[in-house]
Amino acid sequence: MAVTETYEYPVAGITPPTAAEVRRLSSVVAVVTANADADVLATITHNMAISAGDLADGLPIVLFEPMLPEFYVSTPHALAAGKLTNSVEITMSAAVGSGAVTDQMRVTVLRPHTILK
């Protein structure tokens, strides 16, 4: 099986936004489906070109919104090493019952800006 990332904003579908599409925007929103318990890695491509300094400061901000009870079994998290210049890797648990063939969580990636600093 596989993990599916479906983008909701600023584009719709499985193709991530381009750098030009996110240049003036402050967020990327996607939903994640982990079809089987063994599906443990989702990659949200945001194409925000986050600087090394901002990455070292723990940015971008990653928010999770539960959409199914399986969200709580899969215990998703974005570790510092998973925050990359143009993507965020979300690691999930392979616990029994963590897979579901529908959207489990909405992930919002927020671009750092001067209001936050």
Q: What is the pLDDT of residues 30-39, one digit of tens each?
A: 999 888 888 8
Sorting pLDDT into bands at 50, 70 and 90, what band is 117?
low
- 117 domain residue, yes or no: no
pTM here? Answer: 0.88
Average pLDDT, the chain: 87
List own/partner pairs for 91-98 with CB under 8 A and 24 or more apart.
91/40, 91/41, 92/34, 92/39, 92/40, 92/41, 92/42, 93/40, 94/37, 94/38, 94/40, 95/37, 96/37, 97/37, 97/70, 97/73, 98/34, 98/37, 98/70, 98/73, 98/74
**Torsion angles phi and psi, residue 111, rounded to 5:** -70, 135
Sorting pLDDT into bands at 50, 70 and 90, what band is 3?
confident
- 106 domain residue, yes or no: yes
- 56 domain residue, yes or no: yes
Containing domain of residue 9, as a range?
A: 3-110
Residue 46 pLDDT greater than 70, yes or no: yes
- 37 domain residue, yes or no: yes
